[in-house]
Amino acid sequence: MECTPTFLRARRPEHKQQRYDAIRAAARALAVERGVRSVSLGDIAAAVGVHKSAILRYFETREEIYLSLGADAWSEWNRAVHAELDGVVDGSPRLVADVLSRTLAERPLLCDLLTQAPLTLERHVSTSALRSFKVELLEAAESLAELVGRVVPEVGPERGFDVIGALACFAASLWQVSHPSEELAALYAAEPELARGCPDFVPAVHRFTLVFITGLIATED
Amino acid sequence: MECTPTFLRARRPEHKQQRYDAIRAAARALAVERGVRSVSLGDIAAAVGVHKSAILRYFETREEIYLSLGADAWSEWNRAVHAELDGVVDGSPRLVADVLSRTLAERPLLCDLLTQAPLTLERHVSTSALRSFKVELLEAAESLAELVGRVVPEVGPERGFDVIGALACFAASLWQVSHPSEELAALYAAEPELARGCPDFVPAVHRFTLVFITGLIATED
């Protein structure tokens, strides 16, 4: 990772912004490389080239850094899906499944954070950091829900939220399952019948989304 | 927790079995009380009333203890669902959703382990422990899949596996989301509109299962 700290303590506003951005960029790069679970605050500080205490001037904990990246990842995913679907009228469940599964798989940090947020990150931050995260996440999820409900009119915005919620839950688990440890990957290679519960991420998320939307349309509420 | 160690080191086979059972019982009780994530090997040893090294004669790591409890939890859930559905002919998707969601919610340790297994437990055990877990889990999942596919003949055994896989993934995430930290629960109580992404576990799992089975039946493969 490129890292050239040109000041020891950021005092001027532009230096503060620069350092803030550098911390987030380092945290993101490390998480994409080895998974959120394996990155410590010390790792992030080392990658930025500063002491841990310098990080703590900007974020309370490593969890707050990743929650802030998680909120941004939701917003950015929302914009990407809008960019593809905004002009579509009377789209099919299959089209929505195509776009949602592909754009999600293109965002490995978001996929990893879907599990990490409720499991660990939301447990080690202040209420104000939690609140910011929830507000931004819900805004993105509701915007995606409205879009799905508009593109497939039989779904509607209210049940569009069910689609996004179910997809986020399913994809969160499947991301962890479909990215096994080296030992487990070796076991699956040696005994492929044991890998039945470990499908490839994109086709499994695609099929899930298609089946779930189809089921919503066919279920009387 | 009741705990009366009557021997310092278990040497006779019946004592070994007794200690093995005591370790698992303590690990289970602690996990149900405070969540798998918050239980260390030291906590388990303290609850059994022995030193950590005594535990390591039976299990490689705390993760192996919980994987073995996870395998048993899958098998036991499978038996419970069979007990309710074995005699049913031409059952409805709704009946299957009723039984699966209720029996799952009655097993909080299983729900917690659904997330913990791929995320952490499968990463800190030997290949042989991993293999035992996967074999037992798949046996239970395939038996449940066959049952679902038989009770709802339009689903069939192959797609019964899709039901169990999707349910396990969805419920794993939802269990964590629907059991927030104290801080987050307080935030939800103060600002209920922020809790939109945090539904109650049983009705959400029930509806999910019903929608997914309905979607499978309506989707052409």
Q: What is the DSSP track for A173-211?
A: HHHHHTS--HHHHHHHHH-GGGGGG---HHHHHHHHHHH
Residue B6 pLDDT:
53
Residue B120 pLDDT:
86
Closest-CA residue to A215 (of B204, B171, B215):
B215
Place of tokens 């035992």: B132
Cβ atoms of B73 and B139 within 8 Å: the answer is: no
**Average pLDDT over chain A, rounded to an integer:** 93
Distance CA B176, CA B157 (A): 29
Return the minimum-mean-pLDDT range out of A4-13, A38-47, A74-83, B109-118: A4-13
Distance CA A213, CA A215 (A): 5
Residues 6+ apart with CB under 8 A from B182: none
Cβ atoms of A48 and A23 within 8 Å: the answer is: yes
Place of tokens 């951005």: A21
H helix runs in chain A, sequence order = 13-34, 41-48, 52-55, 62-85, 93-105, 108-119, 127-151, 156-177, 182-190, 201-218
Residue A1 pLDDT:
46
What crossing angle do the helices spanning A156-177 and A93-105 adopt, rounded to 10°? 40
Residue A53 pLDDT:
93
CB within 8 Å: A173 and B169: yes
| 3-state secondary structure at position B71 | helix
For residue A10, what pLDDT band results from cuts at 50, 70 and 90? confident
Residues 6+ apart with CB under 8 A from A174: A199, A201, A204, A205, A208, B169
pTM recorded for the entire structure? 0.92
Measure B10 CA to nearest chain A CA, in Å.
32
CB-based burial of residue A43 (10 Å sphere; 0-12 exposed, 13-18 middle, 19+ buried)? middle
User: Mind listing the pLDDT tens digit of every residue in chain B (221 residues)?
Assistant: 444 445 667 778 888 899 999 999 999 999 999 999 999 999 999 999 999 999 999 999 999 999 999 999 999 999 999 999 999 988 999 999 999 999 999 999 999 999 999 888 988 899 999 999 999 999 999 999 999 999 999 999 899 999 999 999 999 999 999 999 889 999 999 999 999 989 999 999 999 999 999 999 999 76
Distance CA B115, CA B117 (A): 6
Tens-place pLDDT, residues A107-137: 999 999 999 998 888 888 999 999 999 999 9
Query: How far apart, in Å, do the first and last CA atoms of chain B sit?
Result: 52
Of all residues in chain A, the one with the smallest CA distance to B134 is A194
- Chains A, B: CB contacts within 8 A come to 140
Of all residues in chain A, the one with the smallest CA distance to B117 is A177
Decide if B75 touches A, using CB distance below 8 A.
Answer: no
Q: What's chain A's length in residues?
A: 221
Measure A134 CA to nearest chain B CA, in Å.
7
Residue B221 pLDDT:
65
Its sign, for the CA torsion A123, B179, A33, A110, is negative
